[in-house]
Amino acid sequence: MMAEKEALFSQKNRRLLIDPLNDDNPISVQVLGICSALAITVQLKPAIVMSIAVMFVLIASNVIVSLIRNLIPGRIRIIVQLVIVAGLVIIVDLILKAYLYDVSKELSVFVGLIITNCIIMGRLEAFALGNGPWKAFLDAIGNAGGYALILIVVAFFREVLGSGKLLGYEVLGHKGKTLIDSTGLYSFGYENNGFMLLSPMALIAVGVYIWIQRSKNRKLIEA
């Protein structure tokens, strides 16, 4: 039992929520969950929906594992975590298919891939097994938020530079067959950078993010 009752949003708990956004970001600092960060950041919309789905699964699995952490036999704990995560992901997939059919089509195979998202297993193993449900809940929101932040930043630049759109809207003007038909930037001869749509550019974009983050954040500079 806890010796003294901790405030709901004590400084320690707030750190759980805020640290993963910057100092301890799962993608840019711990370099976990890179696979999905590369795959679904071509456009902003799937990135946002994926972030929400990961947040739901991470919160639910973190809290569930934390609640039964004293019951889980140590030798099969990874399998137990996997079964819980897989079960939750399938439930999310079924519910999306029944009630949010269009969103489910948008995400297609990536929903299934949440199961193998290293961030989720990483948080269950590193945090939920040793902390109470409220802390696990905050930790899940923080880490899913950190993941979402990178996904959305990368997807923003890839969609704007790669296809000249944001959430499907043509923000840089319309590209016609000739310069005269075109509007906005395209009328000056601007071309979309098709390279941004390919996976290597996602890796480079994440790399640039890490570079900027490290140059700004003193704590991350190694002595």
Partner 1 sequence: MNRNSNAYTFLFAIILVVVVAGLLAFVSEGTKEKRAMNVKLEKMQSILSTIGVDVSREECGVLFKKYVKQELALKADGSIDANIKAFDINLKHELKKPVNEQRFPLYVTEKDGKKNYVIPLYGAGLWDSIWGYMSLADDENTVIGASFDHKGETPGLGAEINQSWFEDQFKGEQIMEGSKFVSVKVVKGGTPESNKHGVDAISGGTITSDGVTKMIEERLKRYLAYFKNN
The answer to the question of residue 90 lying near partner 1 (CB under 8 A) is yes
Residue 209: C-alpha distances to residues 99, 131, 142, 151, 157 (Å): 36, 31, 19, 11, 11
The answer to the question of residue 43 lying near partner 1 (CB under 8 A) is yes
Residues sharing a CB contact under 8 Å with residue 36, sequence separation 6 or more, in sequence order: 50, 54, 110, 113, 114, 117, 151
Task: Choose one: 6-14, 90-98, 135-143, 146-154; the region binding partner 1 (CB under 8 A).
Answer: 90-98
Query: In the complex, what is the shortest distance from the CB of residue 52 to partner 1, in angstroms, rounded to a whole number?
Result: 17
Q: Judged by CB under 8 A, which of 20, 142, 146, 162 binds partner 1?
A: 162
Q: Judged by CB under 8 A, which of 31, 35, 67, 94 binds partner 1?
A: 94
Query: In the complex, what is the shortest distance from the CB of residue 190 to partner 1, in angstroms, rounded to a whole number?
Result: 16
Residues sharing a CB contact under 8 Å with residue 103, sequence separation 6 or more, in sequence order: 49, 96
Residue 104: C-alpha distances to residues 3, 90, 179 (Å): 46, 12, 38
Query: In the complex, what is the shortest distance from the CB of residue 159 to partner 1, in angstroms, rounded to a whole number?
Result: 8
Q: How many residues bind partner 1 (CB under 8 A)?
A: 32
User: Which residues sit at the interface with partner 1, rule CB under 8 A?
Assistant: 40, 42-43, 46, 71-76, 79-80, 83-84, 87, 90-91, 94-95, 97-99, 101, 105, 108-109, 159, 162-163, 194, 197-198
